[in-house]
Structure 1
Amino acid sequence: MSTRLSSTKSRAALHTSARTSAQLLLVAVAVTAGLWLVGQMWPVVWPLVIGLLITTLTWPLARFLRNHSWPPALAASAVTVLALTVAAGIVALVAVPVASQSGTLADGVIAGVDQVRDWAAGPPLNIGDAEITKAMDSAVARLQDSLGTTVSTVATGVGTVVHGVVTAVIAVFLMFFFLKDGPRFLPWLTRQLPGRLAVDVPTVAERCWNTLGAFIRSQALVGLIDAVFIGIGLWILGIPLVLPLSVVTFVGAFVPIIGAFFAGFVAVLIALVSNGLTDALIVLALIIVVQQLEGNVFQPMIQSRGLGLHAAVVLLAVTLGGSLAGIVGSLLAVPAAALIGVVWGYVREQLAEPPQDAAPGEPQGATAV
Structure 2
Amino acid sequence: MNRGQTYNRHLQSLASASLRLVAVAAAVWILSWVIGETWVILLPVVLALIVCTVLWPPVRWLRGKGLPPAAAALLVLVAAIAVLAGVLAAVTPAIINQAGELAEQATAGVVEVRDWLGGPPLNISDAQLNSGVEAINDTLNSSSAKIASGLFTGVGAATSALVTLFTAIVVAFFFLKDGPRFLPWLRHVAGRPAAPHLAEVLQRVWATLGGFIRTQAIVSLVDAVLIGIGLVVLGVPLAYALAILTFIGGFVPIVGAFVAGGLAVLIALVANGPVNALIVLGIIVAVQQLEGNVLQPWLQAKSMKLHAVIVLLAVTLGASLFGVIGAFLAVPVAATVAVILRYYDEQVAGRVDDEETAEADDTTV
| 1:9–1:108 distance in 2 versus 1, CA, 3 Å | farther
Residue 188 of structure 1 aligns with an amino acid whose one-letter code is W
Structure 2 counterpart SS, 1:232:
helix
Asked whether the equivalents of residues 146 and 323 of structure 2 are also in contact (C-alpha less than 8 Å), the reply is no
Matches within 5 A, 1:8-157: 8-128=5-125, 130-131=127-128, 133-143=130-140, 146=143
Asked whether the equivalents of residues 106 and 147 of structure 1 are also in contact (C-alpha less than 8 Å), the reply is no
Give, in angstroms, the shift of residue 292 of structure 1.
1.4
Which of 249, 253, 260 is the aligned partner of 1:252? 249
- Give the match for residue 295 of structure 1: 292
State the number of aligned residues.
354
| 1:326–1:213 distance in 2 versus 1, CA, 3 Å | same
| 1:310–1:300 distance in 2 versus 1, CA, 3 Å | closer
Structure 2 counterpart SS, 1:127:
coil
% same residue = 47
Is the aligned partner of 1:221 residue 2:218? Answer: yes
d(CA) in 2 for partners of 1:108 and 1:141?
20
Which of 193, 198, 223 is the aligned partner of 2:195? 198
Structure 1 counterpart SS, 2:237:
coil
Asked whether the equivalents of residues 94 and 243 of structure 1 are also in contact (C-alpha less than 8 Å), the reply is no
Q: TM-score, normalised by structure 2?
A: 0.88
Q: Which one is further off, 100-109 or 116-125?
A: 100-109
- Give the match for residue 156 of structure 2: none
Give, in angstroms, the shift of residue 191 of structure 1.
0.6
1:3-52 Cα shifts (integer Å, max 9, x gaps): x9822222222221222122122112211211111111122111112111
d(CA) in 2 for partners of 1:102 and 1:28?
46
Asked whether the equivalents of residues 267 and 283 of structure 1 are also in contact (C-alpha less than 8 Å), the reply is yes
Is the aligned partner of 1:262 residue 2:241? Answer: no
Query: Which consecutive residues of structure 1, in runs of 5 or more, have no partner in the other structure?
Result: 361-369
| 1:171–1:227 distance in 2 versus 1, CA, 3 Å | same
1:270-328 Cα shifts (integer Å, max 9, x gaps): 21122221221111111011111112222233223241111221121122222222222
Asked whether the equivalents of residues 106 and 144 of structure 1 are also in contact (C-alpha less than 8 Å), the reply is no
Asked whether the equivalents of residues 101 and 244 of structure 1 are also in contact (C-alpha less than 8 Å), the reply is yes
Asked whether the equivalents of residues 105 and 267 of structure 2 are also in contact (C-alpha less than 8 Å), the reply is yes
Residue 296 of structure 1 aligns with an amino acid whose one-letter code is N
| 1:22–1:229 distance in 2 versus 1, CA, 3 Å | same
Residue 86 of structure 1 aligns with an amino acid whose one-letter code is V
d(CA) in 1 for partners of 2:6 and 2:244?
62
| 1:206–1:99 distance in 2 versus 1, CA, 3 Å | farther
Residue 239 of structure 1 aligns with an amino acid whose one-letter code is V
- Give the match for residue 323 of structure 2: 326
d(CA) in 1 for partners of 2:93 and 2:28?
40
Residue 29 of structure 1 aligns with an amino acid whose one-letter code is A
Question: Larger relative CO (CA 8 A, sep 6+): 1 or 2?
Answer: 2
d(CA) in 2 for partners of 1:117 and 1:311?
32
Matches within 5 A, 1:306-321: 306-321=303-318
d(CA) in 2 for partners of 1:104 and 1:292?
30
Q: Aligned-pair RMSD on alpha carbons?
A: 2.7
d(CA) in 2 for partners of 1:111 and 1:45?
42
d(CA) in 1 for partners of 2:235 and 2:146?
28
- Give the match for residue 353 of structure 2: 354
Structure 1 counterpart SS, 2:252:
coil
Residue 50 of structure 2 aligns with an amino acid whose one-letter code is L
d(CA) in 2 for partners of 1:351 and 1:51?
33
Give, in angstroms, the shift of residue 209 of structure 1.
1.0
Q: TM-score, normalised by structure 1?
A: 0.87
Is the aligned partner of 1:234 residue 2:231? Answer: yes
Q: Which one is further off, 349-358 or 286-295?
A: 349-358
Structure 2 counterpart SS, 1:309:
coil
Which of 294, 297, 302 is the aligned partner of 1:305? 302
More helix by proportion, 1 or 2?
2
Structure 1 counterpart SS, 2:353:
coil
| 1:277–1:254 distance in 2 versus 1, CA, 3 Å | same
Query: Which consecutive residues of structure 2, in runs of 5 or more, have no partner in the other structure?
Result: 154-158
Asked whether the equivalents of residues 110 and 140 of structure 1 are also in contact (C-alpha less than 8 Å), the reply is no
Give, in angstroms, the shift of residue 192 of structure 1.
0.8
